[in-house]
A = this chain, B = another copy of it.
């Protein structure tokens, strides 16, 4: 099998402590012995086993990311932000997928119990406070993205505000009858986005019509799918009095909604939520979440906490930006993707 530190020590005629020092850049080794050790190690193809190092050091130098396994640009962008930031630190990023259809708590528990990571960044997993509470037993830092829980550092986007902004924009453009395409109605993002939608209508003195708030039948991925959006928009367009504009709870649903409008040969202005990569190319107006920044910030928070376990818990809420494109009124010219966002602590 692969050689161990003992093999190198024997061959090089030194103790294992010295070999260890050579591989840990410890300065207290003669240049001569260092070179001897390195030569032997190279000959035998030796490299320290991270597993054994981690056990001895009681540090794995790994930050674990827990993310639902669904084809979702949101996660990819967030992960890219983490990847970009982790380079600044001496940690590796390890990702574990969880299945959104199964019990999320037990999956997260399983991963954390194994203890590979020194800290855990959890993306888009929504649990009850009492469930998050249970995870404290592992006594390890956790940062939550796209979720709020007072016991951990969190990073999220203000869904209420985003929905309010999108809806208000459509109202300002002169629309009075506004539909909303929802995903799973009791999911956290939807609850907030419906709230923002309602408030915008109320503030504009428009009556909220419950028939205008619809979701599709396909509840895979909590309804955040093209087909759900397709179904939902089809329902809206089949109403006796269809809306004359629509706010979609997610870009992925908006994509389905656009197809539905095409198939029904009935187009109305729509605004989505997310700003996925393809959104620009289908000309979809949307509320942009600063995904890349959220990922980068998560790493910073995690590393900070790893270095100082007792620092204050912080909650960062980003405001989504309205990005106007061809799918909605008020659009003027090509809109470059906006990579900035202001954290609103």
Q: Are B83 and A79 in contact (CB under 8 A)?
A: no
Q: Are A95 and B94 in contact (CB under 8 A)?
A: yes
Q: Are B76 and A72 in contact (CB under 8 A)?
A: yes
Number of chain A residues close to chain B: CB under 8 A: 48
Q: Are B278 and A226 in contact (CB under 8 A)?
A: yes
Q: Are B69 and A92 in contact (CB under 8 A)?
A: no
A77 at the interface (CB under 8 A from B): yes
Closest B-chain residue to A291, C-beta based? B71
| Copies of this chain in its oligomeric complex | 2
Cα separation A139 to B47 with both chains bound (whole Å): 12
- Chain B residues in 8 Å Cβ range of A258: 281
Q: Are A115 and B50 in contact (CB under 8 A)?
A: yes
A80 at the interface (CB under 8 A from B): yes
Cα separation A52 to B213 with both chains bound (whole Å): 53
Interchain Cβ contacts under 8 Å between A and B, 27 examples: A2-B138, A50-B113, A50-B115, A51-B51, A51-B60, A51-B115, A69-B76, A69-B79, A69-B80, A70-B76, A70-B80, A71-B76, A71-B277, A72-B76, A76-B76, A83-B97, A92-B96, A93-B96, A94-B95, A95-B96, A95-B97, A226-B281, A230-B281, A255-B278, A255-B282, A259-B281, A259-B283
- New A-B pairs, 6, CB < 8 Å, besides A51-B54, A52-B55, A79-B97: A51-B55, A71-B76, A72-B76, A92-B111, A93-B96, A259-B281
